[in-house]
Amino acid sequence: MARDRSPAGLVGAAPGRPPFEITFDGRPITALPGQSVAAALWSADVVAWRTTRRDGRPRGAFCGIGHCYDCLATINGRPNRRACLVPAGPGDTITTQEGHGHAGLAV
C-alpha cells in the first residue's frame, strides 16, 4: 500500500550511515546518504552552481523536482545534470556549469 512508504524510503535515504565528501569547484562538501547533489550543496550554503548562457546570471535549485532545469550542473564531468534529481555519491565532483554546458564537447 502506498501509505506504507516513508519519505526516507522514497528518496533512498539511509539514516544512521556516515556522511561522505563530495567536491564543488574544488571545495570539499559534506553530504549525507540519500541527499541529492542540490541538497548537499544547499546544506553547505552553496545556492548557485550554473550561469545562464545569455547574461551569465547565477542559478541553482528553483523547483527542486526536476521540472525547471535551473539546477543544471556538471557532475563527474557530465554537463546538464539536474542536481535536484541526482543522488550525491562519495567522491562526486561537481563544477559550476557555465552557459549551455557544452564547452569542450565539440557540439
Domains by residue range for the chain, with CATH = 24-98 (3.10.20.440)
Count the helices and strands in the chain (H runs, E runs). 2, 8
**For residue 23, pLDDT beyond 50:** yes
**For residue 47, pLDDT beyond 50:** yes
Q: Over the Cα atoms of the chain, what is R_g?
A: 15
Locate 49 and state its grid cell: 552552481
- Between 9 and 28, the higher pLDDT residue: 28
**For residue 86, pLDDT beyond 60:** yes
Lowest-pLDDT range of 14-18, 37-41, 82-86, 89-93: 14-18
- Between 62 and 15, the higher pLDDT residue: 62
27 contact partners, CB below 8 Å, separation of at least 6: 44
Q: Which of 8-12, 39-43, 61-65, 102-106 has the highest mean pLDDT?
A: 39-43
